[in-house]
Structure 1
Amino acid sequence: MHTEIENAAGFWVKHIPDASLAAERKEALRLALIDVLCEKYKGHWNPEQTAAGSGYRSLCNWRSLDGSLVEAAMRANVSIALLERLMPRDIVVWCDPHNVTYRVGDHGTVYTIYEDKRGLLECMKKNMAEKVSKSNGDFVISAYTTPVVIRSADGVEIARRGGASAPTIGNNGSPVQPHVLQGSPTKGASDLRRNAMSPLRHVTTYRANDSPFVPSSLANNSAAAAPPPRWSPPSAPAS
């Protein structure tokens, strides 16, 4: 922080002509401005986030002289009126971690006074590492806390992956087991995939000799009656 403040203070003082102010007065003003800025920036300086608080740390001379410059002039016993006349107009200086810049006018070009490229690069690397770590942490949390439930075509739960499965509580306070349809075999993931892809998964299948298009000689055969379905619906609960 001290390196950036020294460069910002030196930038303001060097614009004062030597003929207008003695060298010892200029040095006293520079040291006073350094002390004022150190007090002002205390608690508002984060090297890991260089842009945070940039507006608070800025020094400007628009319609009136910046308060920090006025305070430094009072401590150094320098005339404020003289300082207002000698300081450049319509200028703003940003004193940020690893970087000190200035601009003249509202739409002027931003020029660099001081820049610590190594510090800026290290800050950028650390911020990128924190973002990557946070995104990976969010992915792991969501993957382990959100359960994935696999169900068969008739609604029976087959498997649960990840997350904590909370049991369903019935009216009597005991856990309710999932209801399984009678005659429904346990299906694997491949069977479930085939059922989902087949357009005829809900069509009842008959044996070849159970076809309604049979010869008349077999019309009275009792075996030609429609077979029972492959599964029977669950019986209604007793009232």
Structure 2
Amino acid sequence: MSQARWTGERADMLPEIAAAVGFLSSLLRTRGCVSEQRLRVFSRALQEALTEHYKHHWFPEKPSKGSGYRCIRINHKMDPIISKVASQIGLSQPQLHRLLPSELTLWVDPYEVSYRIGEDGSICVLYEEAPVAASYGLLTCKNQMMLGRSSPSKNYVMAVSS
């Protein structure tokens, strides 16, 4: 498996893809119909497929750019990447539809992976990491000051009396 790294300060997408793959594998695991061996093969193949699929659509400096392309979607129709990988372990379309929610949206973005089950479901975060600023030159004056502070700032109120 290739380690996906491109330009940018934190361009590798492995933690995000691992979170997405782990989530989808756990959905298959909870139904108990897929052996651990097949789940391992599925997880490896899905990680490789997503890494390749996202290769030119991963923008850590603009995490929302390309989000629609990276979105994994099941809407009574199976996402083609999941479908292709599942066929490698012998899962048919009808089996997949029985094992996975009929409505699932999984967003795999730099620094955050989240999902929603159902059209009106709550959005749940699976993975979150704070972006790291590339250099002090990109930070605001306030953020530069906050980096050097070891304790939280104190709030002061200025009052003027006449």
Q: What's the counterpart of residue 36 of structure 1?
A: 49
- 2:27 equivalent to 1:15: yes
- 2:123 equivalent to 1:110: yes
- 2:91 equivalent to 1:78: yes
Query: 77, 96, 115: which one pairs with 1:64?
Result: 77
Q: Is the 8 A contact 2:21 2:43 kept in 1?
A: yes
Q: What's the counterpart of residue 138 of structure 2?
A: 129
How far apart, in 2, do the equivalents of 1:56 and 1:14 lie?
A: 23
Cα distance, 1:56 vs structure 2? 0.5
Deviations 1:115-174 (A, max 9, x none): 112xx2x25x87x93899xxxxxxxxxxxxxxxxxxxxxxxxxxxxxxxxxxxxxxxxxx
TM-score (norm 2): 0.70
How far apart, in 2, do the equivalents of 1:45 and 1:23 lie?
A: 30
Q: Give 5+ residue unaligned stretches, structure 2.
A: 1-12, 142-162
Question: Compared with structure 1, are the counterparts of its residues 53 and 19 closer, same or farther at alpha carbon in structure 2 (3 Å cutoff)?
Answer: same
Q: What's the counterpart of residue 158 of structure 2?
A: none
Q: Residue 48 of structure 1: SS of its match in structure 2? A: coil
Larger radius of gyration: 1
Cα distance, 1:95 vs structure 2? 0.3
Q: Is the 8 A contact 2:31 2:99 kept in 1?
A: no
- 2:18 equivalent to 1:6: yes
Deviations 1:22-63 (A, max 9, x none): 111111111111111011001100111100000100101112
Q: Residue 65 of structure 2: SS of its match in structure 1? A: coil
Cα distance, 1:107 vs structure 2? 3.2
TM-score (norm 1): 0.49
How far apart, in 1, do the equivalents of 2:117 and 2:60 lie?
A: 26
* Aligned residue identity for 2:74: N
Name the count of aligned residue pairs.
Answer: 127
* Aligned residue identity for 2:25: V
Q: Is the 8 A contact 1:25 1:78 kept in 2?
A: no
Q: What's the counterpart of residue 50 of structure 1?
A: 63
How far apart, in 1, do the equivalents of 2:80 and 2:94 lie?
A: 13
How far apart, in 1, do the equivalents of 2:18 and 2:77 lie?
A: 23
Cα distance, 1:9 vs structure 2? 0.9
Aligned-residue CA RMSD (Å)? 2.3
Higher RCO, 1 or 2 (CA under 8 Å, sep at least 6)? 2
Q: Give 5+ residue unaligned stretches, structure 1.
A: 133-239
Cα distance, 1:74 vs structure 2? 2.1
